[in-house]
Each structure stands twice: as C-alpha cells, then as structure tokens.
Amino acid sequence: MHVAPVGGTAVQDHVALAEIELCGELIIAASAAHEDRLSLESIDEVLKVAEARAEAKASGG
C-alpha cells in the first residue's frame, strides 16, 4: 500500500481552478436571477466576456 507524503505534493491545475471559479459565479448569478434561466447576455456579463474580448483586441489578438 502506498500512502501520500504528509508534506503534501498537491498539483494545482490553474485552468481547472479558473473553470471552477467561473462555474461558481454562474451558480450564484443563476440563484439570484428572477427569471427561470440566465439570458445569454447575463451569462456573458458574469463571465466578463466583453472585458476579455477588449483585452484580446488591445493586445493584438
């Protein structure tokens, strides 16, 4: 039987952590929404799509 060391060798997947954070933000927004579903515009707002596009455009992407 192999047991992990006590000191910890945790691997952090930054992409996975970011996705989990975004999912959490969507869950919070959905629970606070008055309508049955979030609109596409609301989802884009929560995920900050416009900001990401502006950053990509500014950096030449």
- Output the pLDDT for position 3: 62
What are the helix (H) ranges across the chain?
A: 14-32, 40-47, 49-58
> What is the Cα gyration radius of the chain?
18
- Output the pLDDT for position 61: 65
- Output the pLDDT for position 12: 78
Q: What are 2-55's pLDDT values in tens digits?
A: 666 666 556 678 889 999 999 999 999 999 998 889 999 999 999 999 998 898
Compute the distance between CA of residue 58 and CA of residue 36 in angstroms, rounded to an integer: 36
